[in-house]
Structure 1
């Protein structure tokens, strides 16, 4: 296992997105979330789409953007199966928060499915408030919505 310090976090490029999609199951297991990996987000919001790269490739990534109302929205965040439990997800969130702050964000937001206990625990551990919003993804499709103020410094992570 590689230490979190041996990973460089940099803006994502299209080649990184292709690598992630090629190794999709290493990040998401059996869940097929390929359709959520939108090229336009990397193309248009590259400074807030980040990858954690080690010598052997992308260990984790976050795809996000800042809304016109000042919300840093995390669309996807994942770590590769061999990079879990070392704080990489927390480090990616801190890097995203810093990038989002640079684009005027004042708060952070993310969503997950109601049954995704791992994501819910992870986000709560980062200080997010979590609430279930009925019909968030359409009729009968509730989602858990995470929100928190953007920390004023990276030390808050």
Structure 2
């Protein structure tokens, strides 16, 4: 069954929050799901919709400095490994470029080995930054130039 990637609506994020464990397991990331981001950056907040619901989503925006920043990306537990995360990133990269972005950025915790591996397969550079999210909050910062070429093809 194919999923259609399209701009997210607030009701989509509310549905994701209702099914939060299917996307994030035991980690409680509900506070990071800011509905204002969907309201204000609707063309770069995306969902992968299918007959059986929302299979994945990406919340992102373009900064004034031309950075396409991915705040959250997740796929539902029954769609992992299907390439959906790559497809969401490709759609975001395309939308971000249309808004003038020339590079992408995302962050994760140093303990999130799955995210680190995923971003590296997409060709992101990864660096560890101490105190990135405040004192004692070391994060992995991912960056990649646009356009996307390579693992995702041309976007």
Per the TM superposition, whether the score is higher than 0.5 is yes
Question: Which ranges of structure 2 fall in alignment gaps of 5 or more residues?
Answer: none
TM-aligned CA deviation for residue 41 of structure 1: 0.3
TM-aligned CA deviation for residue 151 of structure 1: 1.6
TM-aligned CA deviation for residue 9 of structure 1: 0.2
Which of 145, 151, 155 is 1:149 aligned to? Answer: 145
**CA distances 1:1-52 after superposition (whole Å, capped 9, x unpaired):** x4xxx11000000110010000000000000000000000000000000000
In the TM superposition, 1:3-152 aligns within 5 A as: 6-151=2-147
Aligned residue pair count:
153
Question: Which ranges of structure 1 fall in alignment gaps of 5 or more residues?
Answer: none
**CA distances 1:100-137 after superposition (whole Å, capped 9, x unpaired):** 00100000000000000000000000000000000001
Decide whether the 8 Å contact of 2:93 with 2:148 is kept in 1: no
Task: Provide the TM-score with structure 1 as the length reference.
Answer: 0.95
Cα distance in 2 between the residues matched to 1:9 and 1:137 = 30
Cα distance in 1 between the residues matched to 2:78 and 2:105 = 26
Provide the alpha-carbon RMSD of the alignment: 1.2
Cα distance in 1 between the residues matched to 2:148 and 2:39 = 28
TM-aligned CA deviation for residue 152 of structure 1: 5.5
Task: Provide the TM-score with structure 2 as the length reference.
Answer: 0.96
Segments of 4+ moved more than 4 angstroms: none
Cα distance in 1 between the residues matched to 2:46 and 2:20 = 16
